[in-house]
């Protein structure tokens, strides 16, 4: 196993989003010598795209991904069209920020305009996802922006993502753009995939196709008390992070390790400087 390397740490800005706005997060990364960042689109919009790009460039940060595009399924044609339009804008924003990829949280069951789930057709939703990614890919390829499908834990299949395993994500890539060089790949987030008995094989297969675009880390707490906002800090849960890192590296992944922690009851309530310091230490000790 290669030695932990603090230069590989990237901060997904969700980790301190409750405490800081994006300019403060960028300054925090500089202060703590964190070399990578992955911002969310709402934070970028609040700061302004051009100003964000300027600040990221001045800070010399590697943008490991822009969060996020996706959410393709909708109950009617117009809904799917407007999702696609929004995704094209997301590609352009990722380009302006010089992001390594646009992360796709693909969407769950079809929703109506008010955002309510109005269908039980999971198979149909997965077809809408395939078609949506296929269409977006044309724009992304011509723009030169890689798309990273992020499989989400199955507990989100209804409302956030109906792509739930590496096997599914690999199959989608095989169908739409078989080699990662064609701009379609996968973001591996340990929180979502750690439980999968086929995880190692899925990582291997993704690596062989050069489609491992991003690696997100945190931990799985026992018990987990909230479906969305109770992620653990590395070392506080049950995920064998060094093992998954070894699998990623054996499969050829050489990118950064992006800490992404949604934690309403714990880390979002702490002093953000101490959160970043803890991310650094735990990345060194526990991954």
Q: Of 151 and 207, which has the nearer Cβ to Zn ion?
A: 151
The Cα 85–Cα 171 span in angstroms is 25
The Cα 215–Cα 253 span in angstroms is 9
Q: In whole angstroms, how close is the CB of 6 to Zn ion at the nearest point? A: 20
Q: Considering only 48-56, 151-159, 212-220, 246-254, which stretch makes contact with Zn ion by CB under 5 A?
A: 212-220
What 3 state SS string does 88-141 have?
HHHHHHHHHCCCCCEEEECECCCECCCCCECCCCHHHHHHHHHHHHHHHHHHHH
Neighbour tally for 30: CB within 10 Å: 16
Q: In whole angstroms, how close is the CB of 70 to Zn ion at the nearest point? A: 12
Helix (H, G, I), strand (E, B) or coil at 223: coil
Q: Of 70 and 183, which has the nearer Cβ to Zn ion?
A: 70
Q: Of 53 and 186, which has the nearer Cβ to Zn ion?
A: 186
The Cα 163–Cα 107 span in angstroms is 8
Taking residues 135 to 174 in sequence order and writing x for each that binds Zn ion by CB under 5 A, - otherwise, the string is: ----------------------------------------
DSSP 170-198: HHHHHHH-SSGGGSEEEEEEHHHHTT-TT
Q: Specify whether the CB–CB gap between 173 and 146 falls below 8 A.
A: no
Q: Of 75 and 258, which has the nearer Cβ to Zn ion?
A: 258
Q: In whole angstroms, how close is the CB of 111 to Zn ion at the nearest point? A: 21
Q: In whole angstroms, how close is the CB of 217 to Zn ion at the nearest point? A: 9
Tokens of 55: 């600040």
Q: In whole angstroms, how close is the CB of 33 to Zn ion at the nearest point? A: 23
Q: Considering only 21-29, 124-132, 181-189, 198-206, which stretch makes contact with Zn ion by CB under 5 A?
A: 181-189
3-state helix, strand, coil in the chain (%, to 5): 45, 15, 35
Which strands make up the sheet holding 147-149, listed edge to edge? 62-63, 36-38, 9-12, 257-259, 212-217, 184-189, 147-149, 102-105, 66-70
Residues in the interface with Zn ion (CB under 5 A) total: 3
Q: Of 22 and 75, which has the nearer Cβ to Zn ion?
A: 22
Q: Write out the binding residues for Zn ion, residues 216-275 only, by CB under 5 A.
A: 216, 260
Q: In whole angstroms, how close is the CB of 161 to Zn ion at the nearest point? A: 11
Q: In whole angstroms, how close is the CB of 218 to Zn ion at the nearest point? A: 8
| Binder among 93, 189, 219, 236 for Zn ion (CB under 5 A) | 189
Tokens of 254: 């050489």
Q: Of 129 and 148, which has the nearer Cβ to Zn ion?
A: 148
Q: In whole angstroms, how close is the CB of 260 to Zn ion at the nearest point? A: 5
Q: Considering only 32-40, 132-140, 189-197, 237-245, which stretch makes contact with Zn ion by CB under 5 A?
A: 189-197
Q: Write out the binding residues for Zn ion, residues 26-65 only, by CB under 5 A.
A: none
DSSP code at position 252: T
Alpha-carbon torsion angle 209, 214, 219, 225, nearest 10: -100
Q: Considering only 15-23, 154-162, 165-173, 188-196, which stretch makes contact with Zn ion by CB under 5 A?
A: 188-196
Contacts with Zn ion, residue ranges (CB under 5 A): 189, 216, 260
């Amino acid at each position: 196993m290669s030695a932990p390397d603090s230069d590989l740490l990237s901060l997904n800005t969700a980790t301190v989003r409750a405490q800081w706005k994006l300019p403060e997060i960028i300054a925090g990364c500089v202060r703590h010598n964190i070399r990578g960042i992955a911002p969310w689109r709402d934070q970028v919009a609040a700061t302004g795209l051009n100003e964000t790009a300027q600040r990221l460039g001045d800070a010399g940060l590697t943008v490991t991904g822009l969060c996020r595009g996706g959410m393709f399924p909708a109950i009617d044609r117009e809904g799917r069209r407007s999702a696609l339009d929004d995704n094209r804008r997301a590609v352009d924003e990722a380009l302006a920020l010089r992001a390594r990829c646009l992360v796709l949280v693909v969407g769950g069951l079809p929703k109506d305009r008010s955002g309510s789930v109005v269908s039980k057709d999971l198979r149909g939703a997965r077809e809408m996802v395939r078609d949506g990614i296929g269409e977006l890919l044309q724009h992304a390829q011509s723009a030169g922006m890689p798309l990273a499908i992020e499989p989400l834990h199955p507990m989100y299949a209804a409302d956030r993502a109906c792509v739930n395993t590496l096997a599914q994500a690999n199959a989608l890539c095989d169908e739409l753009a078989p080699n990662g060089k064609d701009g379609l790949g996968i973001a591996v987030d340990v929180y979502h995939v750690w439980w999968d008995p086929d995880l190692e094989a899925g990582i291997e297969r993704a690596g062989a196709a050069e489609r491992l675009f991003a690696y997100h880390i945190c931990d799985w707490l026992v018990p987990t008390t909230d479906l969305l906002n109770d992620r653990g800090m590395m070392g506080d849960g049950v995920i064998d992070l060094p093992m998954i890192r070894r699998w990623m590296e054996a499969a050829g992944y050489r990118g950064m390790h992006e800490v992404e922690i949604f934690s309403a009851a714990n880390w979002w309530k702490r002093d953000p400087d101490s959160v970043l310091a803890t991310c650094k230490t735990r990345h060194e000790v526990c991954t």
